[in-house]
């Protein structure tokens, strides 16, 4: 009975994530409502991004300079031009800000971008699954309930402004959060021959026009 009471008490922490906007360039919004007061604690969401999406480190750096978001990427070097089938997943530690309308609520948003996928057969969309974030707390002067929080294996600073690592904690008992789905437009394999023919024709035509202009107006 004691175990059931502890689990019930620890289920109060909830997290939701939303993908805003449409197309390849979206905003990932993460909202967290803690089950206990986290005064003096840093609150973050650990998001595992699959190879189908990425965060542009240069864009993230610009946003952090303007204090519009705070986050850390692992690894911090990302090939933003790689297609989905040549890319790797990344780990995003997104620092959350308090919500003035809710004393135990925190939220933050970060731009994410979809990668190009291989052409598919019979469908014009590829599904990218974003797992639910893990809620993390870093408390320097506050005590967390041992029944609900345990040390997490996260080697990261307490904020995006510091370099030294600190001890993060994660929830022991949390509800089963829903995953988010990102639908990415893809080409059809049955159109490959047509696309190759049109590409070759366009390339030849443009090359001919450039060569004709060079012969007519060029000075040799």
User: Which domain CATH number covers 148?
Assistant: 2.60.40
Q: Please indicate, yes or no, whether residues 99 and 196 belong to a single structural domain of this protein.
A: no
Q: Span 12-19, mean pLDDT?
A: 85
Kindly state whether residues 121 and 213 are assigned to the same domain: no
Asked whether residue 6 carries a pLDDT value surpassing 60, the answer given is no
- Please say whether the beta carbons of 78 and 55 come within 8 A: yes
Residue 8 domain-assigned (yes or no): no
* Residues 182 and 193 grouped into a single domain: no
Average pLDDT rounded to a whole number, residues 18-44: 87
Identify whether 3 is part of a domain: no
Residue 65 resides in a domain: yes
Please indicate, yes or no, whether residues 107 and 213 belong to a single structural domain of this protein. no
Same domain membership, residue 143 and residue 211: no
For residue 7, pLDDT beyond 60: no
> Are 198 and 125 in the same domain?
no
Taking only the tens place, the pLDDT of each residue in 60-91 is: 999 999 988 999 999 888 999 999 999 999 99
Question: Domain limits at 122?
Answer: 13-186
More confident residue, 47 or 185: 47
User: Within this chain, do residues 178 and 112 fall inside the same structural domain, yes or no?
Assistant: yes
The sheet carrying 149-151 orders its strands as: 71-74, 90-95, 41-49, 134-139, 169-171, 149-151
More confident of the two residues 216 and 115: 115
Residue 160: pLDDT band with limits 50, 70, 90: low
Round to whole Å and give the CA distance between 127 and 179: 12
* pTM of the shown model: 0.78
Evaluate whether 144 touches 160 at the Cβ level (below 8 Å). no
Strands (E), the chain: 14-20, 25-33, 41-49, 53-54, 71-74, 90-95, 97-98, 105-114, 125-130, 134-139, 149-151, 169-171, 180-185
Q: Are 42 and 72 in contact (CB under 8 A)?
A: no
Indicate if the pLDDT at residue 19 is higher than 80.
yes
Q: Does residue 196 share a domain with residue 95?
A: no
Q: Are residues 129 and 215 in the same domain?
A: no
Say yes or no to pLDDT of 162 above 90: no
Please tell me whether the peptide bond between 75 and the residue prior to it is cis, using omega within 30 degrees of 0.
yes
Backbone phi, psi, residue 202, to 5°: -65, -40
Percent of the chain with pLDDT over 70: 84
Considering the domain architecture, whether residues 108 and 200 belong to the same structural domain is answered as no
Residues 148 and 200 in one domain: no
pLDDT band (50, 70, 90) for residue 5: very low
Query: Based on the domain organization, do 114 and 215 belong to the same domain?
Result: no
User: Residue 111 has what pLDDT?
Assistant: 96
Q: Give the pLDDT mean for 183-197.
A: 74
Q: How many CB atoms neighbour CB 66 within 10 A? A: 7
Q: Report how many domains make up the chain.
A: 2
Mean pLDDT across the chain, nearest whole number? 82
């Amino acid at each position: 009975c004691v175990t059931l009471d502890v689990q019930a008490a620890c289920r109060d922490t909830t997290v939701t994530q939303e993908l805003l906007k449409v197309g390849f360039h979206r905003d990932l919004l993460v909202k967290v409502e803690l089950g206990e007061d986290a005064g003096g604690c840093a609150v973050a969401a650990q998001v595992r991004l699959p190879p189908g999406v990425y965060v542009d480190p240069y864009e993230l750096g610009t946003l952090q300079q303007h204090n519009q978001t705070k986050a850390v990427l692992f690894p911090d070097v990302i090939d933003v031009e790689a297609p989905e089938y040549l890319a790797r997943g990344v780990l995003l530690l997104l620092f959350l800000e308090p919500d003035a309308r809710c004393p135990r609520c925190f939220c933050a948003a970060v731009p994410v971008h979809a990668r190009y996928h291989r052409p598919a057969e019979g469908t014009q969309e590829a599904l990218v699954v974003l797992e639910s974030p893990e809620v993390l707390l870093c408390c320097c002067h506050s005590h967390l309930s041992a029944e609900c929080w345990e040390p997490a294996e996260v080697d990261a600073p307490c904020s995006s402004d510091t370099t030294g690592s600190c001890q993060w904690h994660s929830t022991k008992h949390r509800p089963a959060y829903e995953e988010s789905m990102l639908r990415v437009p893809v080409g059809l394999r049955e159109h490959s021959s047509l696309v190759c023919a049109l590409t070759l024709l366009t390339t030849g035509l443009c090359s001919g026009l450039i060569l004709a202009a060079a012969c007519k107006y060029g000075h040799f």
